[in-house]
């Protein structure tokens, strides 16, 4: 057991004269030499940064292309027709949920009825606790005085989530059935998953009209990728025996899909549904920029007038909704379909449906007579906005808090972050690319290295090099800090089941809490500086690191730890020599996610004040610079993809070498 | 099957009159809402005026810069607050492309400039003169700016030229750009706790006046051409060596198609004009009294019938 790692190293070096490591070192030396030349003033400017005149006008080309597709090919007409259909759907849900004056003109559904139904569904899926959670969430929303805005949000999500589900399912089936489709879809999905949300917003507005429609479309696009991936994964895993059984009973192709494949892939598809719901909720605030009504819009307005308390309450509502829907959909994944005896009476089979309906009708009728059941009016709600406001501001103003943060701010900004940024900016472009390639080569091997070279080469050609480097610098700084805090936290928590659960719950909350709300306290503590930016990314990036550390450590096969115990290893030895190497591939997945989250959050941090790609992206929101908007978005995406490809390759190789399941 | 058809017919018949009633009023006028209180309340005030005329009104939340593209396309019918400083550029860009037009000015004037909360005066008594501000630049220093003072400017896309002004007037300040209005408030809010002196970008009319009393810094007075001709202003070799105009416009914009589609509402829109105190009052109802925007609008309409009833008659 002495060293699981040592015999692995041999496996990575090839038969060629130069191993991967040697190549990587060679690249590294060239990069260092170039930088040294630059410092010595010997490197010509053309090799330091690509000269302006050599940069191709990508934005103008893209603009021309978009205009061609939009007007000449008539895409705009098509999407505007689709918009009308979508708008009709949204009007129906809007009428039901919050009483917008549209067909069918029967809403709004009383809040008590919705809370009651949520309780029944919760009970069906997960017993009393889930029922309590379901009803509690909606009761909280109503009592805190956010019912209408919450329902405005729900009315759009009710359309966007199913849309994402069906499109994702369809594309997933296609990708599974036809290899060609899969080949086309995979890279598009990767780009979609790393593209900053600002890049979706502008096209959504232009093609689908500002308002709930654009909000619904942007949400749908954002939520589709995991649905496609999970569907394909699930279908690929269907055991051949089951398919043969279907064939033997004479299924047609359609029947085979409907009654054999899809039910067998149920678990993966439902996990996809869970992901769709979570991603939809993650977009609630961001889509408010393009007309999504409800919680997000209110949150932005509250933050615009510096009302921390009310913003916080809205954040709590979003977290509660997310946690409820997450837990319910996860319970649905686990719950297997119930089969009844032949003679079970009809009402018994459908007891849940009936009781749900009963509760619904009861409250609908009750609401006609008791006003509070229909709507909680102003001055009846229990919002504590002002009090929470005072509390938060009071805490942030405490002397010890202020002194600590002042010290952190000074040390980080003046000694670490700003010098680090200036150093990265001082590296010549070719040397920087070589450094990234060396990193990709030593971790992932040849393919990731080639991708790294192409991707960063494109970023250099985009003309936004300095801003890209600043973006990358924020990401690297934040992820490094997140590693320093998140991993030890995960290790400590993984020691006991109880603490693991608690920390994982905290992770869930931190992830669904709208990231915008972090920005204000971050600024109040650290000013408008690089520290605030890094701190707000840090919170977000720590979540996957901690989560995967816990998961990685807790899934180490017990035989291994027992063997270590028998060999008389101390706790430290066991951790360093056994658990860590085995958990490392899983932790790498978390590390990768942390980087992806950081790239997502760094763009949002533009609202604090940055000088990176996010700031430029934010600026494009004002106009119709679709081309520039895309170039910037792709720069972020390419950088993120380089890391994604490299780290995931390393993790898979490593898992294979260790004989761990995927 | 037969039963089902009957039920369906009955259902349709039952709802038909309601559907007709909803469609009876023509298409809704779409009014955009942004993320600051005065604009939200003003939009509801105007919306409720339109509704009282029998029009159908709908509100849509949008970004305050992206909205001009939507007005141009007719997705949004009008815009009630076009600020000269903040949105002038986006408005003019959309104007050039066509599809929307200027629907007249409000009486209210807008001002956007360097600003400080009152407590700053304790540390720098010579204010509001800019020379005095420059003399106590060190008071505004932060960990990152060294000896120089820090001036917190608005987001870069607001194009406030803080950097140019610092250079043109030879001031000992470093300009830092906030990323959003919320970031500005957070910085003032943090400074309020220990009454730390700050100088930031701010504007009026604005809710902040009610929360943090303060003053604008008095720069050399704005002269036409200060942004185009270096010879204008105290520094003969530089642009932007004056303060911003103290009386910028606040306009309304309308979609070109509005005039034909809703002639009566359009007529009212051109007449609508609010003053600074009226706008401040609308913001106060929401920001200080904690009312919901719809209620604040209703309350304002009730309290000021003589202001708006003239527009509708």
Q: Which of A105, A293, A306 sits opposite B19 (nearest CB)?
A: A105
DSSP code per residue over chain B: -HHHHHHHHHHHHHHHHHHHHHHHS-SPEEEEE-SSHHHHHHHHHHHHHHHHTT--EEEEE--TTTHHHHHHHTSS-EEEEEEHHHHHHHHHHHHHHSSEEEEEE-S--BEEEEEEETTHHHH-TTTTBHHHHHHTGGGG--TTTTTSEEEEEPPGGG---HHHHHHHTT-SEEEEE-SSHHHHHHHHHHHHHTT---EEEEEES-THHHHS-EEE-BPSPP-TTTTT-TTSSSSTT-S--SPPPTTB-EEEEEETTHHHHSHHHHHHHHH----HHHHHHHHHHHHTT---HHHHHHHHHHH-HHHHHHHH-
Chain A residue with minimum CA distance to B183: A608
Which SS3 state, helix, strand or coil, does residue A340 take? coil
Q: Which of A300, A406, A609 sits opposite B179 (nearest CB)?
A: A609
The CA distance from B272 to B252, in Å, is 9
Does CATH place domain A82-108+160-304 in 1.25.40.10?
A: no
Indicate if B120 and B79 belong to the same structural domain. no
Backbone angles phi, psi at B101, to 5 degrees: -145, 165
For B81-120, the three-class secondary structure string (H helix, E strand, C coil) is EEEHHHHHHHHHHHHHHCCEEEEEECCCCEEEEEEEECCH
Residue A622 pLDDT: 65
Q: Do B19 and A103 touch (CB under 8 A)?
A: yes
* Pairing relationship of beta strands B111-117 and B214-216 according to DSSP bridges: antiparallel
For A534-603, the three-class secondary structure string (H helix, E strand, C coil) is HHHHHHHHHHHHHHHHHHHHHCCCHHHHHHHHHCCCCHHHHHHHHHHHHHHHHHHHHHHHHHHHHHHHHH
Domain with CATH 1.10.3720.10 in chain A: 82-108+160-304, 465-662
* B192 domain-assigned: yes
Q: What is the pTM of this model?
A: 0.87
Chain A residue with minimum CA distance to B25: A101
B2 has a pLDDT exceeding 60: no
The CA distance from A641 to A76, in Å, is 30
Q: Which two tokens stand for residue A643?
A: 């890391």
Residues in chain B, overall count? 313
Q: Which two tokens stand for residue B71?
A: 């007005």
Indicate if B153 and B121 belong to the same structural domain. yes
Chain B residue with minimum CA distance to A411: B143
Asked if A550 and A490 count as a contact pair (C-beta separation under 8 A), the reply is: yes
* B126 domain-assigned: yes
Q: Which of B173, B201, B216 is the last residue of a domain?
A: B216
* Exposed/middle/buried for residue A121 (C-beta within 10 Å: 0-12, 13-18, 19+): buried
* B208 domain-assigned: yes
Q: Which residues of B touch A287 (CB under 8 A)?
A: none
* B16 domain-assigned: no
Residue B1 pLDDT: 39
Residue A197 pLDDT: 86
In angstroms, the Cα distances linking A141 to A145, A211, B292 are 7, 23, 16
Is omega for the bond preceding A104 within 30 degrees of 0, making it cis?
A: yes
The CA distance from B213 to B234, in Å, is 30
A393 in contact with B, Cβ within 8 Å: yes
* Exposed/middle/buried for residue A515 (C-beta within 10 Å: 0-12, 13-18, 19+): buried
Asked if A658 and A578 count as a contact pair (C-beta separation under 8 A), the reply is: no
B220 has a pLDDT exceeding 60: yes
Put simply, the chain B residues between 61 and 80 with a CB less than 8 A from any chain A CB are 61-63, 65-67, 69-70, 73, 75-76
B250 has a pLDDT exceeding 90: yes
Indicate if B267 and B286 belong to the same structural domain. yes
Could you say which DSSP state residue A52 is in? G
Indicate if B89 and B149 belong to the same structural domain. no
Residue A624 pLDDT: 66
A1 in contact with B, Cβ within 8 Å: no
B125 has a pLDDT exceeding 60: yes
Q: Which residues of A touch B88 (CB under 8 A)?
A: none
- Strand partners for A78: none
Q: Do B156 and A615 touch (CB under 8 A)?
A: yes
CATH code at position B161: 3.40.190.100
Q: Which two tokens stand for residue B153?
A: 């400017």
Residue A4 pLDDT: 44
Residue B65 pLDDT: 81
Q: Which two tokens stand for residue A399?
A: 């002397």
Residue A549 pLDDT: 93
- Terminus-to-terminus CA distance in chain A, angstroms? 22
Mean pLDDT of chain B: 85
Indicate if B139 and B206 belong to the same structural domain. yes
B9 in contact with A, Cβ within 8 Å: no
* B129 domain-assigned: yes
**Half-sphere exposure in the Cβ direction for A624 (13 Å, CA):** 18
* Exposed/middle/buried for residue A384 (C-beta within 10 Å: 0-12, 13-18, 19+): middle
Residue A367 pLDDT: 86
The CA distance from A529 to A140, in Å, is 36
Q: Do A523 and B180 touch (CB under 8 A)?
A: no
Asked if A116 and A360 count as a contact pair (C-beta separation under 8 A), the reply is: yes
Considering only CA atoms, which of A588, A573, A562, A569 is closest in space to residue A660? A588
B7 in contact with A, Cβ within 8 Å: no
Q: Which residues of A touch B193 (CB under 8 A)?
A: 393, 396-397, 402
Residue A328 pLDDT: 92
The CA distance from A30 to A52, in Å, is 25
Considering only CA atoms, which of A485, A479, A655 is closest in space to residue A555? A655
Q: Do B35 and A418 touch (CB under 8 A)?
A: no
Provide the number of structural domains found in chain B.
2
Does CATH place domain A465-662 in 1.10.150.50?
A: no
* B170 domain-assigned: yes
**Half-sphere exposure in the Cβ direction for A369 (13 Å, CA):** 4
Which SS3 state, helix, strand or coil, does residue A202 take? helix
Q: Do B66 and A202 touch (CB under 8 A)?
A: yes
The CA distance from A231 to A161, in Å, is 15
Put simply, the chain B residues between 266 and 295 with a CB less than 8 A from any chain A CB are 286-287, 290-292, 295
Q: Do B207 and A305 touch (CB under 8 A)?
A: yes
* Pairing relationship of beta strands B149-153 and B29-33 according to DSSP bridges: unpaired
Residue B225 pLDDT: 83
CATH code at position B51: 3.40.190.10
Is omega for the bond preceding A590 within 30 degrees of 0, making it cis?
A: no
* B256 domain-assigned: yes
B200 has a pLDDT exceeding 80: yes
Put simply, the chain B residues between 206 and 235 with a CB less than 8 A from any chain A CB are 207, 211
* B18 domain-assigned: no
B169 in contact with A, Cβ within 8 Å: no
**Half-sphere exposure in the Cβ direction for A450 (13 Å, CA):** 2
Asked if A282 and A510 count as a contact pair (C-beta separation under 8 A), the reply is: no
Considering only CA atoms, which of B133, B14, B79, B84 is closest in space to residue B269? B79
Q: Whole domain around residue B181: which residue ranges?
A: 113-216
Q: Which residue numbers in chain A have pLDDT < 50?
A: 1-15
Q: Which residues of A touch B207 (CB under 8 A)?
A: 305
């Amino acid at each position: 057991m002495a060293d699981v790692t040592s015999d692995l190293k041999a496996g990575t070096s090839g038969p060629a004269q130069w191993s991967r490591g040697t190549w990587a070192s060679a690249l590294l030396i060239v990069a260092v030499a170039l930088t040294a030349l630059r410092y010595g003033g010997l490197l010509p400017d053309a090799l330091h940064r690509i000269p302006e005149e050599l940069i191709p006008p990508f934005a103008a080309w893209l603009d021309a292309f978009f205009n061609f597709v939009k007007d000449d090919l008539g895409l705009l007409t098509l999407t505007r027709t689709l918009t009308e259909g979508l708008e009709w759907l949204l009007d129906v849900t809007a009428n039901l949920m919050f009483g917008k004056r549209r067909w069918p003109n029967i809403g709004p559904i009383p809040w008590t009825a919705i809370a009651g139904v949520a309780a029944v569904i919760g009970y069906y899926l997960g017993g009393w606790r889930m029922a309590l959670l379901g009803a509690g969430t909606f009761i909280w929303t109503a009592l805190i005085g956010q019912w209408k805005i919450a329902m405005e949000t729900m009315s759009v999500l009710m359309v966007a989530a199913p849309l994402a589900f069906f499109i994702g399912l369809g594309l997933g089936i296609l990708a599974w059935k036809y290899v060609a489709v899969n080949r086309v879809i995979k890279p598009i999905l990767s780009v979609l998953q790393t593209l900053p949300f600002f890049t979706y917003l502008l096209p959504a507005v232009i093609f689908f009209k500002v308002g709930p429609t654009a909000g619904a479309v942007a949400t749908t696009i954002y939520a589709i990728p995991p649905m496609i991936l999970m569907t394909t994964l699930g279908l690929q895993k269907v055991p051949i025996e089951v398919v043969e059984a279907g064939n033997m009973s004479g299924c047609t192709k359609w029947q085979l899909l409907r009654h054999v494949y899809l039910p067998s892939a149920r678990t993966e598809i439902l996990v996809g549904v869970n992901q769709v719901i979570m991603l939809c909720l993650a977009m609630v605030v961001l889509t408010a920029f393009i007309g999504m009504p409800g919680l997000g819009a209110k949150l932005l307005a509250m933050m615009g007038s510096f009302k921390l308390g009310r913003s916080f309450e809205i954040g709590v509502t979003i977290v509660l909704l997310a946690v409820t829907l997450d837990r319910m959909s996860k319970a649905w994944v686990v719950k297997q379909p119930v089969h009844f005896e032949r003679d079970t009476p009809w009402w018994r089979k459908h007891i849940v449906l009936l009781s749900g309906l009963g509760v619904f009708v009861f409250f609908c009728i009750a609401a006609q007579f008791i006003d509070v059941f229909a709507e909680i009016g102003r001055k009846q709600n229990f919002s504590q906005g002002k009090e929470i406001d005072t509390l938060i501001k009071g805490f942030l103003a405490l002397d010890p808090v202020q002194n600590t943060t002042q010290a952190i701010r000074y040390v980080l900004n003046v000694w670490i972050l700003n010098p680090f940024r200036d150093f990265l900016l001082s590296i010549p472009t070719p040397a920087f690319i070589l450094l990234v390639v060396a990193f990709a080569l030593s971790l992932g091997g040849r393919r990731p290295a080639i991708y790294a070279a192409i991707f960063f080469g494109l970023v250099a050609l985009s003309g936004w090099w300095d801003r890209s480097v600043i973006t990358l610098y924020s990401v690297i700084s934040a992820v490094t800090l997140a590693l320093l805090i998140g991993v030890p936290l995960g290790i400590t928590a993984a020691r006991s089941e109880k603490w693991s659960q608690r920390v994982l719950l905290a992770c869930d909350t931190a992830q669904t809490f709208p990231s915008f709300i972090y920005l204000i306290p971050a600024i109040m503590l650290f000013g408008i500086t690089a520290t605030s930016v890094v701190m707000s990314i840090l919170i977000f990036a720590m979540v996957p690191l901690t989560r995967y550390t816990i998961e990685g450590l807790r899934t180490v096969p017990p035989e291994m730890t027992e063997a270590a115990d028998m060999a008389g290893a101390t706790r430290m030895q066991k951790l360093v020599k056994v658990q860590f190497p085995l958990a490392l591939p899983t932790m790498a997945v978390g590390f990768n996610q942390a980087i992806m989250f950081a790239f997502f959050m760094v763009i949002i941090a533009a609202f604090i004040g940055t000088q990176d790609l996010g700031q430029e992206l934010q600026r494009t929101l004002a106009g119709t610079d679709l081309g520039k908007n895309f170039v910037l978005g792709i720069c972020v995406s390419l950088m993120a993809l380089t890391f994604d490809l490299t780290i995931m390759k390393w993790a898979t190789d490593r898992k294979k070498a260790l004989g761990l399941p995927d | 099957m037969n039963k089902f058809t009957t039920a369906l017919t009955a259902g349709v018949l039952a709802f038909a009159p309601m559907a007709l009633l909803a469609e009876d009023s023509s298409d809704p006028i779409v009014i955009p809402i942004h993320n600051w209180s005065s604009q939200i309340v003003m939009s509801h005030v105007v919306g409720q005026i339109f509704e009282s005329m029998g029009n159908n009104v709908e509100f849509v939340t949008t970004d305050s810069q992206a909205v001009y593209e939507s007005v141009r396309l007719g997705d949004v019918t009008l815009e009630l607050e076009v600020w000269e400083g903040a949105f002038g550029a986006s408005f003019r860009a959309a104007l050039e492309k066509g599809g929307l037009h200027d629907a007249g000015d409000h009486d209210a004037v807008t001002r956007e400039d360097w600003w400080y909360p009152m407590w700053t005066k304790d540390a720098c008594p010579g204010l509001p003169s800019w020379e005095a501000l420059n003399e106590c630049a060190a008071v505004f220093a932060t960990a990152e700016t060294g000896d120089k003072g820090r001036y917190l400017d608005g987001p870069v896309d607001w194009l406030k030229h803080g950097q140019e002004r610092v250079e043109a007037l030879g001031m000992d300040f470093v300009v830092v750009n906030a990323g959003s209005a919320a970031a500005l408030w957070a910085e003032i809010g943090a400074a309020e706790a220990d009454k730390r002196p700050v100088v930031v970008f701010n504007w009026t009319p604005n809710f902040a006046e009610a929360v943090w009393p303060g003053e604008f810094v008095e720069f050399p007075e704005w002269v036409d051409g200060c942004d185009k001709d270096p010879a204008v202003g105290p520094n003969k070799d530089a642009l932007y060596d004056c303060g911003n105009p103290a009386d910028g416009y606040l306009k309304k914009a309308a979609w070109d198609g509005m005039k034909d589609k809703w002639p009566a509402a359009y007529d009212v829109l051109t007449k609508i004009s609010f003053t600074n105190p009226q706008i401040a009052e609308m913001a106060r109802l929401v920001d200080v009294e904690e009312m919901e925007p719809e209620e604040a609008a209703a309350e304002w309409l009730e309290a000021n019938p003589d202001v708006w009833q003239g527009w509708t008659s």
